[in-house]
Chain A
Amino acid sequence: MSSMQDHTVVRSSRASRFAALAGIAILILLIAAPLWAGRADMRLLGELFLYLALASLWNLLAGYAGLVSVGQQAFVGFGGYLLFALTIFGGLHPVLAIGVAGLLGAAIAVPVALLIFRLRGAYFAIGTWVVAEVFRLTFAQISVLGGGSGSSLPVSIVKSVAANRTMREWTSYWMALGLVVLVLAVVYLFLRSRRGLALTAIRDNELAASSLGIDIWKTQFQVYVVTAGLTALTGGLIFLQKLRISPDAAFSVNDWTAFVIFIVVIGGIGTIEGPIIGTLVYFALREFLSDLGTIYLIVLGVVAILIMLKAPKGLWGLIRERWGIELFPLSHRVIYSKPDKEK
Chain B
Amino acid sequence: MTAILKLDRLSKSFGAVVVSDETSIEVEAGEALGIIGPNGAGKTSMFNLITGTLTPDSGTIHFQGENVTKKSAAVRCRAGMARSFQVPQPFDGLSVFENALVAATQGAGMRGHDAENHCLEILENTALLDKANVTAGSLTLLDRKRLELTRALCAKPKLLLLDEIAGGLTEAECVSLVDTIRSIRETGISIIWIEHVVHALLAVVDRLTVIDFGRVIANGEPKAIMASKQVQEIYLGIEVDGEMEGHG
Contacts and interface: CB of A to CB of B under 8 A. Distances in A.
Query: Are A and B interaction partners?
Result: yes
Nearest to A193: B105
Interface string A261-278: 000000000100000000
Given A4-B129, A204-B91, A334-B133, A214 B98 contact: no
B53 A207 contact: yes
A212 B132 contact: no
Interface stretch (A35-43, A66-74, A194-202): A194-202
A208 B97 contact: no
A331 interface: yes
Interface in B34-88: 51-53, 72-75, 77-78, 82-83, 85
A201 B106 contact: yes
A215 interface: yes
Contacts of A9: 97, 116, 120
A215 B72 contact: yes
B74 A213 contact: yes
A7 B120 contact: yes
A4 B124 contact: yes
- Those 7 A-B pairs whose CB atoms lie nearest each other, nearest first: A213-B107, A204-B91, A334-B132, A213-B77, A208-B89, A4-B120, A213-B106
A204 B52 CA distance: 20
Given A208-B91, A211-B83, A215-B72, A2 B129 contact: yes
Interface in A209-235: 209-216
Given A198-B106, A216-B74, 14 more contacts: A4-B121, A201-B91, A204-B94, A208-B85, A209-B91, A211-B51, A211-B82, A211-B89, A212-B102, A213-B78, A213-B155, A214-B74, A332-B95, A332-B116
A10 to B, nearest CB: 10
Contact of A331 (B78, B98, B102): B98
A3 interface: yes
A333 interface: yes
B90 interface: yes
Interface of B: 51-53, 72-75, 77-78, 82-83, 85, 89-95, 97-98, 101-103, 105-109, 111, 116-117, 120-121, 123-124, 129-130, 132-133, 151, 155
Interface residues of A, number: 28
A32 to B, nearest CB: 38
Contacts, number: 112
Given A207-B53, A212-B77, A331-B95, A7 B129 contact: yes
Contacts of A201: 91, 94, 102, 106
Interface centre among A2, A203, A209, A270 (most CB of B within 10 A): A209
A205 B98 contact: no
A197 B117 contact: no
A296 B107 CA distance: 50
B201 to A, nearest CB: 22
B119 to A, nearest CB: 8
Nearest to B111: A194
A203 B93 contact: yes
Contacts of B111: 194
16 contacts: A9-B116, A9-B120, A197-B106, A198-B102, A201-B91, A204-B90, A204-B92, A209-B106, A210-B53, A211-B51, A211-B73, A212-B103, A213-B74, A215-B75, A332-B98, A334-B133
Contacts of B129: 2-4, 7, 334
B74 A197 contact: no
B130 to A, nearest CB: 7
Contacts of B51: 211
B132 A7 contact: yes
A332 B96 CA distance: 10
Contact of B74 (A7, A204, A215, A333): A215
Interface in A297-337: 331-334
A267 to B, nearest CB: 17
Interface string A171-200: 000000000000000000000001001101
Contacts of B117: 4
A210 B92 CA distance: 15
A259 to B, nearest CB: 26
Contacts of A198: 102, 105-106
Contacts of A7: 120, 129, 132
A116 to B, nearest CB: 20
A216 B53 CA distance: 13
Given A2-B129, A9-B97, A214 B89 contact: no
Contacts of B77: 210-213
A240 to B, nearest CB: 38
Interface centre among A2, A3, A204 (most CB of B within 10 A): A204
